[in-house]
Amino acid sequence: MAKILSKVRREGETRQHQRFMVPKGTFVIVSPGTDKEWKVQAIDISNGGLAFIYQGSKEDLDTSGALKILAKNADLENVNFETVSDEPAPGSTDTSLPSRRRGVKFKWMGVVGKQDLRDFVNSISASGSIP
């Protein structure tokens, strides 16, 4: 019986970490495995990952595995990630470069890196959580 309740509870839970809207002016720098870097708009963040909007095809960023997060009062560099979702952004129009929303989860960063991430999220999460 306990296994069934545990499984039902896990299926009902969608997130391990509370997400927060990021303040205007918070950007993500993504390096897609080339000499070029993309500066894109961050949407939300948690201790487990973040979401951002970019223009292009999802294949354009598939080779990327690290990013930098820039905010007004704090930066976080060399954050390793894994893509968990990549879909057309809501309200995106069919243009030659459609907007896409990518959700990523952070990979393990060690104790110091994890604390830096927590400090960073706490510093920019004053704008409120996302239900």
Rg, the chain, Cα only: 16
Quote the pTM value.
0.76
What mean pLDDT comes out for the span 59-65?
Answer: 77
Number of domains in the chain: 1
Mean pLDDT of 86-94: 78
What is the domain extent for residue 51? Answer: 17-124
Residue 11 included in any domain: no
Quick one: average pLDDT of 53-70?
Answer: 82
Q: Is 12 part of a structural domain of the chain?
A: no
Report the CATH number at residue 113.
Answer: 2.40.10.220
CA distances from 4 to 8, 16, 74, 119 (A): 6, 20, 44, 37
Q: Is residue 27 domain-resident?
A: yes
- Decide which of 1 and 123 is more confident: 123
